[in-house]
Structure 1
Amino acid sequence: MGINTSAESSSVFSFDHRDMMVFILVMSLHGFQSMITELLPEFSMGGLGLEIGPFWFVAMSVVLLFRSFWACLAIPVGGIVFGEILIGDFSALGAVEGLIVITMSWFFAMSLITDPTDVKQIAAVGFLAKAMEEVAAWFIDVGKFYVGVEELEAISWLPETVWATEGMGALVQIIGAGLIFGAIPTLYLYPRLRGKIEPLLGMNPIDGRDGPMFTRSSLKRLVAWAALLPIAFAVEMLSETSGGLIVFEPQFVETYGQAFLFVPIVISALVAFGLVYYRQQRTQA
């Protein structure tokens, strides 16, 4: 029999073999979707570069199926492993911002879900998580400008315009990755995955809960999100001024060309689908 993944049945920070499988699945799927979008062209509109994706609906749908801290953490880890280490462009300190901001944004947003069968609520929560991530990154980027560790686009006699220029980039990501390639496709994908993916990992779908969306637990997670932002900013600033602490930069893509991007794509696909196939065989045995 499957095991319920509800947060009420165990601590949100507990970690067992089921959490490990969820972590690996989310990590590899997010790495796969991120690297696929790296192969897509960038368009220019009015001098503003617009990228297609990333296809956030994959991460949105799978993470919100399981709603554990480890599923949230797997999103930035997938980007680091498949989008940085395997292509030879990794900085340990530079990775901390994403680990904190992305993980905590999703960890807070998923606490708002009361009815996991309500697709509109699921899509809205996924959109909120991505929006929180981009807003946090916006504040951090502007902060780096004000402390002088990075030069950002701004009118020389009106530095405050950096808020608008960086804010526009954040807004484009919120609309693109959060809505067009996130929440809207999630409306279609999530209900088709729910009840089908969990049994393959030996779990039951998460049940809903009574009460308001915003609870005491949600408040604690929101406070943690806000409290950790200064830490993310401090580490990012240190990364800009002191290097990456642990750096791995053989720059495989620059050496071997864009075709090298297929390496992390193939590896992430093998990991994700290999895990599902393995669990499916175990379930049928």
Structure 2
Amino acid sequence: MMVFILVMSLHGLQSMITELLPEFSVGGLGVSIGPFWFVAMSVVLLFRSFWACLAIPVGGIVFGEILIGDFSALGAVEGLVVITTSWFFAMSLVTDPSDVKQIAAVGFLAKAMEETAAWFIDVGKFYVGVEELEAISWLPETVWATEGMGALIQIVVAGIVFGAVPTLFLYPRLRGKIEPLLGMRSAGGRDGPMFTRSSLKRLVAWVGLLPVAFAVETLSETSGGLITFTPEFVETYGQTFLFVPIAAAALIAFGLVAYRQRKVEGGV
């Protein structure tokens, strides 16, 4: 539970901070600078648990949707499924947690899997007619290229520039320092190949759950979000309202660490 709350709040914090940053254009495609994925890569791969993986999309939902007043229950399912399963598979490949290059590569793979899955889902929504995507009218197959280019740019920007590369520097500085604050030991390595039977099961789960994520996302586009919360605080109060979820996430993250540190130092 401590790990879940920490990852959720840290990811929510950096996601909201990057929301304040402007987008830029690459070849006519809008690209957001964030999230700064090296935060999730470094912290999640310290603990390597299912709950740490689940905390990434939950952090985005709580701080990036609910607290800013733009939440759709069905619309949140895609992220929950795709992000969680992508990270859960990728972390199974770690054999040597002290090998920073392996950690960075695994984090990049998780982000690449996430963007690839989102690419397929977005194209699928075009083919079933629930969303209009950019494509040449007489050649709808170009949607694969336009959406694929957007996914590729995000993989490079979020997966490498703001993901794997900073992780090379941040992860070794956190390992062995964050875990004791939560009263935990550093996750150990294992012998054998990176890809194991457990990895195969997780990869099969990733593939098998993609149609589920697609079906629910399509349903959300056609029949609403089932449960929605849309007071749209940012539209009402402006960008300064983003400091509310930023403050909430920071308070939870640093408050949790301070609380656990006192417990550990007190021998509890």
Instruction: Give TM-score scaled by structure 1 length.
Output: 0.92
SS at 1:158's partner residue? coil
Q: CA deviation at 1:43?
A: 2.0
1:8-40 deviation digits (Å, cap 9, x = unpaired): xxxxxxxxxxxx000000000000010000001
Corresponding residue of 1:216: 197
Q: How many residues align?
A: 266
Corresponding residue of 2:39: 58
CA distance in 1, matches of 2:245, 2:41: 21
1:98-144 deviation digits (Å, cap 9, x = unpaired): 00000000000000000000000000000000000000000000000
Corresponding residue of 1:7: none
Corresponding residue of 1:141: 122
Match of 1:67 among 48, 51, 56: 48
1:140-184 deviation digits (Å, cap 9, x = unpaired): 000000000100000000000000000011011100111000000
Gaps of 5+ in 1: 1-19
Q: Counterpart of 1:129 in structure 2: which amino acid?
A: A
CA distance in 2, matches of 1:180, 1:211: 30
SS at 2:92's partner residue? helix
CA distance in 1, matches of 2:174, 2:149: 34
Corresponding residue of 2:154: 173
Corresponding residue of 1:280: 261
Match of 1:42 among 23, 46, 54: 23
Q: CA deviation at 1:79?
A: 0.1
Corresponding residue of 1:231: 212
CA distance in 1, matches of 2:26, 2:40: 28
Match of 2:8 among 16, 27, 39: 27
1:39-93 deviation digits (Å, cap 9, x = unpaired): 0111234432232121000000000000000000000000000000000000000
SS at 1:44's partner residue? strand
Alignment of 1:1-285 (within 5 A): 20-285=1-266
CA distance in 1, matches of 2:206, 2:225: 23
CA distance in 2, matches of 1:88, 1:125: 33
CA distance in 2, matches of 1:46, 1:67: 37
Corresponding residue of 1:14: none
CA distance in 2, matches of 1:207, 1:163: 41
Q: Counterpart of 1:137 in structure 2: which amino acid?
A: A
SS at 1:112's partner residue? coil
Q: Counterpart of 2:258 in structure 1: which amino acid?
A: Y
SS at 2:226's partner residue? coil
CA distance in 2, matches of 1:48, 1:63: 30
Change (3 A) 1:225 1:45: closer
Instruction: Give TM-score scaled by structure 2 length.
Output: 0.98
1:198-256 deviation digits (Å, cap 9, x = unpaired): 01111100111000000000000000000000000000000000000000000000000
CA distance in 2, matches of 1:225, 1:172: 22
Q: Counterpart of 1:201 in structure 2: which amino acid?
A: L
Moved >6 Å (runs of 4+): none
Q: Counterpart of 2:256 in structure 1: which amino acid?
A: L
Gaps of 5+ in 2: none
CA distance in 2, matches of 1:47, 1:105: 28
Corresponding residue of 1:15: none
CA distance in 2, matches of 1:80, 1:117: 31
